[in-house]
Amino acid sequence: MTTRTMSRPIEATMTDPSLGLPTITMATPMPGFPAHREFVLVRLNDDGLLYALTSIDNPELRFLVAPPEPFFPEYAPEIDEAVFAALNTKDPDRVLLLAVITAGQDETTANLLAPIVVDRDSMRAQQVVLTGSGYPVRAIMNRAF
């Protein structure tokens, strides 16, 4: 069974440095980074549209991420129930979707095929490959930062 999930705004409690940066624990490591399971989400701009998912063990390891909704308003992937179970999700409306961003010289793209799903309550996350969804790995972002 799957649940269609819309992106939701990132809450201040996840990113406000005065409150501390809570640790986001990957339920399964991101592909290619098996030794890195704990990250913090660091806001990079005042609009709250761009973040660095930064490894606690190696702060030089950062993934540029953004909530997809401001850039792709129709993006509503179906997330498998097994992902919610791995994240200890009790309410699918409490998940946050983040797209990994690749900033290039000529264009900036978002990986919509493999979003990072974060449970706001358990602070567990998992990068999920949406096999068969038709979402692109490199969707051109149309909004300027």
CATH of the domain at 69: 2.30.290.10
Q: Tokens representing 133? A: 């969804």
pLDDT one-digit tens code per residue, 33-80: 999 999 999 999 888 889 999 999 999 999 999 999 999 999 999 999
Q: SS3 for 18?
A: helix
- Into how many domains does the chain fold? 1
pTM confidence score: 0.83
What ranges in 1-145 are assigned the alpha helix state H?
12-15, 81-86
Range of the domain at 31: 23-140
16 found inside a domain: no
**Residue 21 CB neighbour total at 10 angstroms:** 16
Q: Mind listing the pLDDT tens digit for each residue in 87-142?
A: 999 888 889 999 999 998 889 999 999 999 999 999 999 999 998 999 999 999 97
Find the distance separating the first CA and the last CA of the chain, reported in whole Å. 36
Residue 126 resides in a domain? yes
Residue 83 within any structural domain of the chain: yes
Residue 145 lies in a domain: no
Angle among Cα 54, 56, 62 to the nearest 5 degrees reads 20
